[in-house]
């Protein structure tokens, strides 16, 4: 096959077996929060997907490339899970340690994992099957597109964004998942009173997250009950600076506070434990969805909603 043919032919998604059209120039131009969605699957992971994929994977019609979402696709949680139950959506769960532990502890709640990495998808499917969990589903898709168009408005009781890739280099920070556009999409899928939970072990990303939560709270989409809380969590950044995680010169160095108590429903994963062992501070944030109506673009026009997002996708460092 010549080079031109390679760039125009369809190809198969290793995780789902779906065929996808070749990437267009538009797809290459998107700002993503991860570099590749691939990864070599072990034979056991391939076998797990073959054996249990039909039970745990949600097949998503693609727009123009892997992990994209056809804007006409609607994911009905009640149909997917076969019941009406509270729904928790985790964006970028990695191998699913926290999500699977929560699903096992809360059988009356449904958990939707939105993940792009094939190896992580395989880990979640394999572990969910081994534990015989029937309240877990995995969506191999770009979270920004899924939240913008596929999930119904107000369908989720919680959205989790734990330890997204910090994209440490300054020139890569545009790839960070958490920004105001993403926050608006989280608001779109949360029911009034729903909870958005965030956590990171990277100081300047924590400050960025806090700035985002403050901004969308000022616009009335969320309540921010912990504004100003726990300012002592900003006093140890010099330690993190020694490890290459120094403060952003434009930040208030964390002393403004705004941090929540660690979410007790999040299992201490290997990744979080490693961050603590390496001297990094874990910072949690919590925002509560208000009753404020969404902007019409987030409800009425799927195409507009997608264009307004900077097209970040999921991805968890160290998953």
| One-letter-per-residue 3-state SS of 84-145 | CCCEEEEECCCCCHHHHHHHHHCCCCEEEEEECCHHHHHHHHHHHHHCCCCCEEEEECCHHH
The answer to whether 113 and 146 are in contact (CB under 8 A) is: no
Angle, helices 203-218/180-189, rounded to nearest 10 degrees: 60
271 is in an annotated binding site: yes
Q: How far apart, in whole angstroms, are the C-alpha atoms of residue 107 and residue 105?
A: 6
The answer to whether 96 and 133 are in contact (CB under 8 A) is: no
Active site residues: 165
68 is in an annotated binding site: no
169 is in an annotated binding site: yes
Q: How far apart, in whole angstroms, are the C-alpha atoms of residue 136 and residue 158?
A: 15
158 is in an annotated binding site: no
Tell me how long the chain is: 319
240 is in an annotated binding site: no
Instruction: Report the SS3 class of residue 19.
Output: strand
16 is in an annotated binding site: no
Q: Cβ of 4: how many Cβ atoms within 10 Å?
A: 8
Structure tokens at 79: 């149909």
Which residues make up each annotated binding site for S-adenosyl-L-methionine? Answer: 90, 115, 142, 165
Binding residues: 90, 115, 142, 165, 169, 201, 269-272
Give the residue numbers of the binding site for substrate. Answer: 169, 201, 269-272
């Amino acid at each position: 096959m010549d080079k031109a043919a390679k760039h125009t032919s369809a190809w198969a998604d290793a995780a789902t077996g779906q065929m996808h059209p070749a990437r267009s120039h538009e797809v290459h131009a998107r700002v993503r929060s991860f570099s590749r969605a691939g990864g070599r699957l072990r034979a056991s992971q391939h076998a797990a997907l073959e054996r249990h994929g039909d039970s745990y994977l949600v097949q998503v019609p693609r727009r123009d490339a892997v992990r994209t979402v056809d804007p006409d696709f609607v994911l009905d949680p009640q149909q997917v899970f076969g019941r009406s139950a509270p729904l928790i959506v985790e964006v970028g769960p990695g191998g699913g340690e926290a999500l699977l532990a929560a699903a096992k502890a809360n059988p009356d709640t449904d958990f939707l994992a939105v993940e792009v990495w094939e190896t992580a998808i395989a880990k979640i499917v394999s572990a969910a099957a081994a534990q015989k969990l029937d309240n877990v589903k995995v969506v191999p898709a770009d979270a920004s597109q899924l939240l913008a168009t596929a999930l119904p408005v107000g369908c989720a009781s919680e959205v989790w964004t734990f330890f997204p890739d910090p994209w440490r280099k300054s020139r890569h920070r545009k790839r960070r998942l958490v920004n105001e556009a993403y926050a608006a999409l989280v608001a779109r899928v949360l029911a009034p009173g729903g909870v958005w939970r965030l956590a990171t072990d990277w100081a300047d990303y924590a400050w960025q997250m806090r700035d985002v939560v403050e901004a969308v709270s000022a616009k009335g989409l969320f309540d921010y009950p912990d504004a100003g809380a726990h300012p002592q969590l900003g006093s140890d950044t010099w330690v993190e600076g020694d490890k290459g995680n120094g403060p952003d010169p434009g930040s208030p160095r964390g002393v403004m506070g705004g941090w929540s108590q660690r979410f007790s429903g999040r299992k201490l994963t290997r990744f979080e434990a490693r961050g603590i062992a390496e001297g990094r501070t874990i910072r949690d944030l919590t925002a509560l969805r208000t009753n404020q109506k969404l902007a019409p673009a987030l409800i009425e026009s799927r195409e507009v909603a997608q264009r307004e997002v900077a097209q970040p996708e999921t991805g968890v460092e160290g998953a």
